[in-house]
C-alpha cells in the first residue's frame, strides 16, 4: 500500500461505472508513478553511495605504498596503482598494454606459471617471490599475496629488493666468516702441530742431554781404565824388552788386567743399558 486517493460527492451514486473505472485507472497510474519515483530515488541513493565508496577505494588504491593490481590468469594486468610506476619505471599505460609474464625474470617464469595455475584453480597464493624487469633493464624482487576470483586475480605486492640485497650481503659475510674461521682453524692446527713438534724436540733434547750425562760416567770410566791399562801394558813391554821381568810383575800385570777388563765390561754394559732405554 503506497497511499490512498479519495474523491467525494454529496450525491449518491454520483459516478457511473465508466467514471469509476477511469478513476481506478488514474489511481493505479498514480500509485505506479509514485513507486517508480521512490525506486528511482533509492537507486540514486545507492548509486551515490557506490560512487562515494568507489572514490574512497580509489583514493586508497592510489595512496598506498604497496603494489596493488587486478590481473587475470592469462597473464595480463587490468588495473594497477601508481606505485608500480615508482618501482618499475613504466607508466601505467605501458604496463597495462603488455603481458606481465614478459617482465618476469627468465629464471622465475616457470615458478610464476605454476602459481598462475594454482590461481586458476582458485587457490590463494601467499608470499610468492619473483623478479620483475624495470624500464632501465634492472630487476626488482617482488613478494606477492594473491586472491583469485574467477579468472581475475586481486593481488597486493611489495618491493623487497633492499631486503634481498641485505640477505645476500649477510650471506656473503657469513660465507666469508666461515672461510676465515676455516683458515684460522687450519692455522691454529698447524701452529699446534708445530708447538707439539717443538715440545717433542725439546723433550728429546732434554732426554738426549740426560742420556749423554748418564753415559758420560761409564764411558769416562771405561776410557780411564783403557788409558791405565795402556800405561801398564807399555811398562810391562819395557820390562820384557829389558829382560828384567820378574814373576811378581807378571802377577801384578795379570791382576790389574783382570780388574781393568772387569771395569770395562761393567761400564760398557751400563752404557749399553742406557742406550737401550733411550731407543725405547
CATH number at residue 141: 3.30.450.20
Domain holding 252, by residue range, is 199-279
Statement to judge: residues 120 and 159 lie in one domain: yes
Last residue of one domain, picked from the residues 110, 143, 167 = 167
Looking at the domain assignment, is residue 193 inside a domain?
no
Question: How far apart, in Å, are the Cα atoms of 173 and each of 124, 166, 213?
Answer: 36, 10, 58
Statement to judge: residues 71 and 162 lie in one domain: yes
Looking at the domain assignment, is residue 256 inside a domain?
yes
Rounded CA-CA distance 87/141 in Å is 10
Statement to judge: residues 59 and 87 lie in one domain: no
Strand order in the sheet with 125-133: 77-80, 67-72, 152-159, 139-149, 125-133
Looking at the domain assignment, is residue 136 inside a domain?
yes
| Tens-binned pLDDT, residue by residue, of the chain (280 aa) | 455 656 656 666 666 677 667 767 777 777 777 777 778 777 777 666 566 665 656 666 776 778 999 999 988 999 899 999 999 999 999 998 788 999 999 999 999 999 999 999 999 999 999 999 999 999 999 999 999 999 999 999 999 999 999 999 999 989 988 998 888 888 888 888 888 888 888 877 777 777 676 767 777 777 777 888 787 778 777 777 777 777 777 778 778 778 877 877 887 887 777 777 766 6
Statement to judge: residues 35 and 80 lie in one domain: no
**Residue 106 CA, distance from chain mean position:** 23
Statement to judge: residues 148 and 236 lie in one domain: no
Statement to judge: residues 143 and 160 lie in one domain: yes
Looking at the domain assignment, is residue 191 inside a domain?
no
Statement to judge: residues 59 and 74 lie in one domain: no
Rounded CA-CA distance 34/14 in Å is 28
Statement to judge: residues 90 and 138 lie in one domain: yes
Looking at the domain assignment, is residue 269 inside a domain?
yes
Structural domain count, the chain = 3
Statement to judge: residues 59 and 72 lie in one domain: no
Statement to judge: residues 73 and 126 lie in one domain: yes
Statement to judge: residues 82 and 159 lie in one domain: yes
Looking at the domain assignment, is residue 30 inside a domain?
yes
Pick from 118, 109, 110: nearest CA to 155: 118
Looking at the domain assignment, is residue 213 inside a domain?
yes
Looking at the domain assignment, is residue 192 inside a domain?
no
Statement to judge: residues 208 and 272 lie in one domain: yes
Amino acid at each position: 500500500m503506497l497511499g490512498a486517493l479519495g474523491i467525494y460527492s454529496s450525491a449518491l451514486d454520483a459516478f457511473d461505472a465508466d467514471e469509476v473505472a477511469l478513476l481506478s485507472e488514474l489511481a493505479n497510474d498514480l500509485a505506479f508513478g509514485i513507486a517508480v519515483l521512490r525506486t528511482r530515488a533509492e537507486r540514486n541513493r545507492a548509486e551515490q553511495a557506490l560512487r562515494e565508496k568507489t572514490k574512497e577505494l580509489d583514493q586508497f588504491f592510489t595512496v598506498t605504498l604497496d603494489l596493488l593490481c587486478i590481473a587475470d590468469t592469462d597473464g595480463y594486468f587490468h588495473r594497477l596503482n601508481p606505485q608500480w610506476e615508482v618501482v618499475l619505471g613504466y607508466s601505467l599505460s605501458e604496463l597495462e598494454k603488455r603481458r606481465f609474464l614478459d617482465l618476469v625474470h627468465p629464471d622465475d617464469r616457470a615458478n610464476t606459471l605454476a602459481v598462475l595455475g594454482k590461481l586458476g584453480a582458485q587457490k590463494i597464493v601467499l608470499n610468492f617471490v619473483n623478479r620483475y624487469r624495470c624500464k632501465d633493464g634492472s630487476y626488482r624482487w617482488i613478494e606477492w599475496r594473491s586472491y583469485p576470483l574467477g579468472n581475475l586475480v586481486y593481488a597486493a605486492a611489495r618491493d623487497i629488493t633492499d631486503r634481498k640485497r641485505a640477505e645476500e650481503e649477510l650471506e656473503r659475510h657469513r660465507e666469508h666468516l666461515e672461510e676465515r674461521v676455516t683458515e684460522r682453524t687450519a692455522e691454529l692446527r698447524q701452529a699446534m702441530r708445530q708447538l707439539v713438534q717443538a715440545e717433542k724436540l725439546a723433550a728429546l733434547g732434554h732426554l738426549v742431554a740426560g742420556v749423554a750425562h748418564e753415559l758420560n760416567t761409564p764411558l769416562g770410566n771405561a776410557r780411564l781404565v783403557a788409558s791405565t791399562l795402556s800405561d801398564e801394558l807399555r811398562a810391562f813391554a819395557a820390562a820384557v824388552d829389558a829382560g828384567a821381568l820378574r814373576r811378581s810383575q807378571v802377577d801384578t800385570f795379570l791382576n790389574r788386567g783382570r780388574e781393568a777388563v772387569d771395569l770395562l765390561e761393567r761400564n760398557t754394559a751400563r752404557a749399553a743399558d742406557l742406550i737401550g732405554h733411550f731407543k725405547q
